[in-house]
Amino acid sequence: MPLPTRNKDEDAKKFVSRCMSSDKMKQEYPDANQRVAVCNSQSRAGAEGGVLQLTDEEAIYAKITREVSEAGYKYKDPITGEIYEFARKGVYKKNGRVLIPVHE
């Protein structure tokens, strides 16, 4: 199955979010830092627009990369056991389920 590609009218932030949450990407790139690098690369490859738009998008990629690398709080889906990382403590939901904090 091929990697996600950016739709013609999709902005960078939405694409990277969709790409990061893709089951295919999670399977092939379980490490979030690797996955964000690949998603950013895929987004750049599908980018259209002028220099200003591309410059703005580079700022978005930098912010997303920073947020992923700073993620330090792990939460687990109580049904699937899947682990999610977040930069801040909080109450998070996925698939309608409240995630459970993982204490290491």
Claim to verify: residue 58 and residue 16 sit in the same structural domain: yes
Q: Is the dihedral of CA 36, 37, 38, 39 positive or negative?
A: positive
The per-residue pLDDT for 51 is 65
Claim to verify: residue 81 and residue 57 sit in the same structural domain: no
Give the domain extent around 89.
71-104
Claim to verify: residue 40 and residue 24 sit in the same structural domain: yes
Q: pLDDT class for 97, splitting at 50, 70, 90? A: very high
Distance from chain centroid for Cα 22: 9
Q: pLDDT class for 99, splitting at 50, 70, 90? A: very high
Please give the average per-residue pLDDT across 21-25, as a whole number: 88
Claim to verify: residue 62 and residue 75 sit in the same structural domain: no
Q: Token pair of 27, please?
A: 């399977």
Please give the tally of structural domains in the chain.
2
Claim to verify: residue 103 and residue 87 sit in the same structural domain: yes
